[in-house]
Each structure stands twice: as C-alpha cells, then as structure tokens.
Structure 1
Amino acid sequence: MLALVFILLVPAPLGAYAVYLRVQYAGEPSAEARTRNNDALWLGHAWVDGRKTEADVTALAEQLQGTGIRDLYVHAGPLEHDGTLPLASVSPKARWFTTAMRAAAPAVQGIHFDFEPVQSGSKGFLAVLDQTHELTTARGVPLSVAAAQIDPIFHVNVLPLLLTGEGKWWSHGYFAEVARRVEQIAVMSYDTAMPLQSLYGGYVAQQTQLALEATPASTDLLMGLPAYWESNPSHWGHAETVAAAVRGARLGLGASTRKNFGLALYIDFTATPENWAAYRDGWCVAP
C-alpha cells in the first residue's frame, strides 16, 4: 500500500513543477538582459599539456573578439590526493599558456576551483576556500569556484541522497556560504535531466533567480551554458541547448542592473559553431 501511495503521489508534484518551469520560460527576456562583459569559457587540458601552439592561442583570441568573455577557466589538474598540483608533470605548458594568452587577449589572473562532487553542507570545502582565499587576497588575485545547482524544490536533495548516497544540489544557504568566500561563482547549470528545451530553459531561469538571491552583490555570478552533446538520462542533448540556457538565464535575470553577472560556456573542445552562434546572438548582440 505504501508503494502504491508513493506511485500515485509523486507524479502530481512533478507535473506541477513541470508546469511551473514552462511558465518560467514564457514571455520575452528583457532587452537589458545582455552581456555585461563578465562572461567566461571553460578550456580543456590540451591548452596546458603541450598539444596547443601559438597559432591556437591566436585563433582563440580571435574567437573571443566581440563576445563578453573575460575569464578563461583552464583545466590544469587533477590535484594529488594531498591537494598539491605537480604542474611540471601534469600541466607542463601552464606558464606558457597564461603568458601567451595574456599577450593575445588580456584576462584576469586568479584561481578557479572545480571540485566534484561537493556535498551540500561540506565544512571541508568551506575550509579549503577560506585557506585559499587568504593566499589569493595576499597576491591580489580573485578566487573563483564552479558551483552545484541550488535545490529547486524544498529538500528535494534528499531523494538522490537516499538513492545514491550523493546529493545533486546545494541548499540555498550553503550556496550563499560558498559565494561569500569567493570573488566569482559559476553555476554548473547543466546535466539537469530535463527532457524538453522549454523545461530546461525554465529550470535555468529558476536557477538564475535562486543564484541571484544567494550571491552577495560583491561576488561575480555566472550561469553555465552546455556547449556539448550527450544523450542520456542526466543530459538530453536535444533539450539542454545553449540557446535554451541563454534564454533561460536572460529570463531569470530579468531587468536586473547587476553588472557582475555573466554566462560561462562549457567547454571549448566540444563547442560547435552553432553553440557559439547561439551564445553570441542570444546574449552578446543587441536586437
């Protein structure tokens, strides 16, 4: 009987939530919801392991022209179990790339952490951010972090915890705790399992609103764009598109005048010309 009740009750709230997301995706984004030149791009490991050349750096700099991309998140890891990063063996061309890239297209220098998974409420992660922030502050560079999505429905994070032992979302409060400890936070607003573009776009709109509420005005906030294709239960490529994410973020941003807001493309080596066009046309080009 308990199982039957569960089966009967679960579809109702999920259906109501789907309707809510579809409503979130309705209407026209504000004309003011355009790039504030605080966007970013995640870059793969090829840029720091010797596979890229000066010509590639020049091509990347040219590709970034006319966009709002200011920051590049370069994959320089992985870290060792003790937290060290042996650049000489893991990313031997890291210094070459940062020097070449700053010469070709000046960008902000700093540290971007992408630790996965980080469970909501993790005190260890907050401690790492506190310790790192002391170092970055002393050197006058920003600390940036990739963040999990925010719990979209009250305590829904309990479900994946019960089923897999790992949560998918951060609580609103924990997201705020992380955001207060960094200069920039980028939400990984993809891999949502949404089956339709309208639902995915509505979900991004909701996540944008939640993140805006939780992020201090002094911290840069960016929403991730899925510039890659997968087709599986956690990421339906026909639904999770750059165009839907851009439109959803614009709807969530509304008429906000917040300047330190942006979008972040994930990731350079899978981004297609269509992905770039959706980002440029939807976010960078005024109507």
Structure 2
Amino acid sequence: MTIRGTIRRVTRWAVIVLAVLLALGVIAAAALRIEFAGSPAAWARTTGHDALWMGHAWVDGRKTAADVDALALRLRQSGIRDVYVHSGPFEADGTLRADKYPGAADFLKWWKEKLPGVRVSAWLGQVVGDGSGGTLNLADPATRARVVAGAKALADLGFDGVHYDFEPVSDGDQSFLDVLTQTRGAIGAKLLSAATQQIEPLPGMRFPLRLAIGHDKYWTPGYFRQVADLTDQVAIMTYDSWTPLPSLYGGHVVRQTKLAMGLVPENKTVLIGAPAYHDHLVALSDFAESVGSAADGVRLALTEDGPRSNLGLALYVDFAATEEDWKEYETTWVRPE
C-alpha cells in the first residue's frame, strides 16, 4: 500500500471514530435531558440528612467562637446534620501531623455548645499515587497504618467521625477498602464516611474515559457498593461532570441519585454533592452546574423512585459558597417554592 493510500485509510477510520463518538455524545445528552424532565413532587425535599464540607480555617486557629455562632444561625434553619471539617492532609508517608489542627479542640468545644445536633467529622485525604511527588501510596501497609492512626487520633480528640477523601482512587482498589476496614476497627461505632467517585452511568463508559484522562472518573456499581458496605455514609462528588448545560447537569444528578439509591442499603446514608463553588476544572461547568440544579435532580429522582429518608445534599464547600448558593439550597431543597 502506498503512503497516500495509508493516509486515506487512517483518515477514513479517524472520521468514523469521531462520528461514532459524536453520535454517542448526542445520545448521552438526549438521555440526560430526558432524565431531567417532569416536575418534582412536593414531598421530595430535605429530610434533615444533609451535609456540608468545611475548610481548614476552622481547625488551624483562624476561626473563632464568633464564627461558629454566625454559622450556627444559618445551619439551625437548614437540613444539615453532618459537617466534614478539613483537618489534614496526610503527609506522603501517611502521617497526620498534630500541627495541622492546633485549634481543633477549641473548635469542637464551641461547636458542641452551639450545634450539639450536628455531627462533626474530620475530613482527611491526600492525592493518591505511588508515593512519589508527595502522593500517598495506600498500597503500602505501613502507610495505611499511619493513616488509620491519624484518623483515630482525631476521633479520640472528640470528632464524631472520620470522612475520607482520597483522589483519585481507582475502581477496584483493594487498598482503599483496607483503609476503610482498618479505620472501622480503630474508631469503633463513630461515623465513617467517604467521598466517592461518580458511578459509571452506563456499562462500558469507565474504561474509555480512563484512557482519555489517565485515571478513573467513574467507579463501577460493584466497587461503589463495596465502599458503601464498609461505611456509614457515601458522599458522591457529583460535580465537575463536564456537562455544558444546566439541564444536562440536572439529568446527570438524576442518574447518579437513582444509581446510588439502588446500590446503597437503606440503613446507610447517600449524599449527593452539590457544587457551592465557582472555579470548576472545566470553565463551562460554572455555567452548567449549581446547587439548584443538583437539588432539582435529586428531587426528580426521589419523585420517580419513591421516598428515602436517609438521602441528602452535601454542599461543597463552605468558604466558596455565595449567598446565592445558600438561597438555592433553601428554596429548591429545604423549603421548595
């Protein structure tokens, strides 16, 4: 075959592949738009099982009792039952230095005086990798042991639980499951929760996206269920979806919520991440994603699949949330208009 013939053949196949990808994209977009159709039922709203991710300033000494007072005024009128307060990150060898959270004891004292009904978990994590470049190698038993020891230290300090957020965790990663199992043994009956990857929307979607971006964006339903079985709560990071329109993002949330409700046992809590921030990895997502669209998506999923008391929104994140974000949480989820 001549060089010219080879070029024509490669070009033809490239056009075919692009056409197939475009067609699949159109089909996926149409499916998401259909998911977001209809009106949510009036009863589909918060049941008081929501959560809020909170920044590091609460435990490093920058926040005061007055800051807790101010936040308490907002949260008492909300459906938020759990907060995840950033208290790390771990060092590359899994160590959690105590100087990461010098103000934690004072914060816990103030919090429990003002909001005794809202549980406080230590939000802990690190970038996961092979141990190089500051990444955390969870495959190393000694590293895992230090991670668990750090989590136990915060539980012993007075936190109500531990909330892990390791990224990116690959689908099927046994090391992460081992961390969860060992942490349960270390903290006993205290709350154990995890921020999770999104669930593979349709079979076969995980692998090509992994090839394109170099890590898993999705977990298969089977692995997601394994993580849920080892925790009390799973909080799906249902943002940075790369959807270009609010209606498509809403459909994505509907799909994630339905999948999660079908995978997580009724005695455990499912939290759907709502983007209360405005610096997405993909700029178009700032337009497409919002707290309101996330709330509408969850309400539509509940309307179709039926009530579930232990399902809520998890707002990410307190220091980036605007008054508009809080208003959307109030008017589309807590007290829908």
TM-score by length of 1: 0.95
Contact 2:330 2:336 in 1 (8 A): no
Aligned pairs for 1:236-275 (under 5 A) are 236-254=285-303, 256-275=306-325
Tell me by how many angstroms 1:98 deviates.
1.6
Counterpart of 1:194 (choices 243, 246, 261) is: 243
Q: Which runs of 5+ in 1 are unaligned?
A: none
User: Are 1:277 and 2:288 matched, yes or no?
Assistant: no
Which residue in the other structure is 1:164 paired with? 213
Per-residue CA deviations over 1:142-187 (Å, capped at 9, x if unaligned) read 1011111001122211123222321111001100000000011111
Select the structure with the greater relative contact order (CA < 8 A; seq sep ≥ 6).
Answer: 1
Distance 2:277 2:332 in 1: 17
Equivalent residues of 1:191, 1:234 under 8 A apart:
no
- For residue 90 of structure 2, the aligned residue among 50, 71, 79 is 79
Which of 41, 48, 66 in structure 2 is aligned with 1:37?
48
Write the deviation string for residues 209-250 of structure 1: whole angstroms up to 9, x where unpaired. Answer: 011111111211110110011255376111101111110111
2:219 alignment partner, SS class: coil
What is the root-mean-square deviation of aligned Cα atoms in Å?
A: 1.3
Alignment of 1:1-287 (within 5 A): 1-87=12-98, 89-106=99-116, 107-108=118-119, 109-137=160-188, 140-230=189-279, 232-233=281-282, 236-254=285-303, 256-287=306-337
> How far is 1:63 from its partner?
1.1
Preserved contact between residue 240 and residue 280 of structure 2 (Cα < 8 Å): no
Indicate the structure with greater helix content. Answer: 2
What's the secondary structure of 2:225's corresponding residue? helix
Contact 1:40–1:73 (Cα < 8 Å) also in 2: yes
Supply the distance in 1 between the matched residues of 2:222 and 2:236 (Cα, whole angstroms): 15
* One-letter amino acid of the counterpart of residue 182, structure 2: Q
- State the SS of the aligned residue for 1:30: coil
Quote the Cα distance in structure 1 between the aligned partners of 2:39 and 2:165. 33
Q: Greater shift after overlay, 248-257 or 34-43?
A: 248-257
Whether contact under 8 Å (2:197, 2:236) holds in the other structure is yes
What's the secondary structure of 2:93's corresponding residue?
coil
Amino acid at match of 1:94: A
TM-score for both structures, normalised by structure 2: 0.82
1:201 match: secondary structure = helix
| Number of aligned residue pairs | 284
Shift of residue 86, structure 1, vs aligned partner = 1.3
Letter of the 2:166 counterpart: F
Aligned-pair CA distance for 1:2: 2.2
> How far does the alpha carbon of each residue in 1:114-135 deviate from its partner, in whole angstroms, 9 at most, with x for none?
1111111100000000100112
Report deviation, 1:21: 0.6
Unmatched 5+ stretches in structure 2: 1-11, 120-159
CA distance in 2, matches of 1:163, 1:266: 26
| SS at 1:70 equivalent | strand
SS at match of 1:40: strand
Alignment CA distance shift 1:86-1:232 (3 Å) = closer
